[in-house]
Each structure stands twice: as C-alpha cells, then as structure tokens.
Amino acid sequence: MKRGFAWLIVLISAMLAVVPALAQDIDVSGVELTGTYSWSGVALDFPDGWEAYTDDDGFTHLGTDETDLLFIFYSIEEEGENTTTFIQRVFDRTRFDDTLEWDEDSLLSGMLPNYELFAYSYTENNGTSTYQRAILGQDLGDGIIMITSVIPTEADDISAGAFEEIFAILNSVRMVDEEE
C-alpha cells in the first residue's frame, strides 16, 4: 500500500513537472525530431533513439529501450463520440486489472501547438508487475481520432523526459497521401 501511494505521488509530480496540470499549453520546442515514419495515410516525426515497428497483430509501435507507444485509430461514427470516448474504450478493453474502474476526474487535457491532447494515466497490474500506463488521445480532424497507449518497458513508470519526447512526437502527427 505504501509503495502504491508513493508511486502515485511520483506520477503526479512527474506529470505536473512535464505538463503543468496539463491544462496549459504544452511546450515541445526543446525536442529535436530527426526521423519520420509514415503508414496508412499518417506520418509522424520522432527524435533519435526511437524506432518504429509493426507487431504480429499489425499494430504500429514507436519505441525506445524505455518506452513503447502503440497507435490505435478510430473513426467518429456516432453522435456524441469524441476523443475521451475512445480513451475510455481503450482503457476498458485493454486493462489487465479488471478491478480498475474508469475515473472521469483523472482525465486531463492540454494544448500541444497543433492539437488538443487528452491524457489518462493509471497504475496497471498485469499479474506479474505493476507499472504506470498512459492513454493519450487527439482528434486528427476529418473524424479521425488517434489513441496512443504508452507503457514503460524497463521501469515501473514513464520518465518525464519520455513524456516530453512523446508530446513532441504527437504534435508532429499529420495525415498524408498514401504515396508519401
């Protein structure tokens, strides 16, 4: 119990340090993006140390030795659907710990230079380990919502430096012609 509470304090501190309450503009100007990856009409830029790959299920990931991003795309098809609808859907369908419940009050939002970003972060337990997971969402326009699942691969939490790079990557996302 003590470990969980201490971890929660560290998570909140890290999130506030990187994104002051995630209610203000998010500055991504300090991150140099040197690579580009394109797939299925979407392109994004990323810094050194990140690598794109497709998993056995056909999902596109971007990762480092410390962090893995999984990208999921949705089309708004029903009235009332929005970015937060799909963040909750991903949470409900992919969480390992069935005792976890969606907490609307834990959903944060902030402004990247190019997008409004919504973030939901929680402690996941997959039966063998406990770690921080973040689900980020942004509306790309034309009824397309991109959800990014963020999981640490080497530690129990996502570092502030990783969040800074992730926000810069998400700000760079754009729709492109399939030929590009």
Tell me the per-residue pLDDT of 108-167, one tens digit each, with 9 for 90 and over.
999 999 999 999 999 998 888 899 999 999 999 999 999 999 999 988 999 999 999 999
Radius of gyration for the chain, computed over Cα atoms and rounded to the nearest angstrom? 16
Asked whether residue 180 is assigned to any structural domain, the reply reads: no
Q: How far is CA 144 from CA 76, 77, 97, 121, in A?
A: 6, 10, 28, 22
Q: 0.95 exceeded by the pTM?
A: no
Dig out the tokens for 137 from the structure.
């969402």
Instruction: Work out the mean pLDDT of the chain and round it to a whole number.
Output: 86
Instruction: Tell me if 139 is assigned to some domain.
Output: yes
Q: For residues 169 and 51, is the Cβ–Cβ distance under 8 A?
A: no
In a domain, 170, yes or no: yes
Establish if 104 belongs to a structural domain. yes
Are the beta carbons of 72 and 145 closer than 8 angstroms? no
Residue 119: exposed, middle, or buried by beta-carbon count in 10 A (0-12, 13-18, 19+)?
buried
CATH number at residue 153: 2.60.120.1690
Q: Which residues of 53-91 are buried (b: 16+ CB within 10 A; e: fewer)?
A: eeeeeeebebbbeebbbbbbebebeeeeeebeebbbbbb
CA distances to 66, 130, 135 from 42, rounded to whole Å, are 24, 32, 19
Q: Is residue 21 part of a domain?
A: yes
Sign of CA dihedral 18, 109, 152, 10: positive
Q: Which domain holds residue 55?
A: 2-175
**Residue 35 binned pLDDT confidence (cut-offs 50, 70, 90):** very high
pLDDT of residue 179: 58
Q: What's the structural domain count of the chain?
A: 1
Q: Residue type for 37, please? A: Y
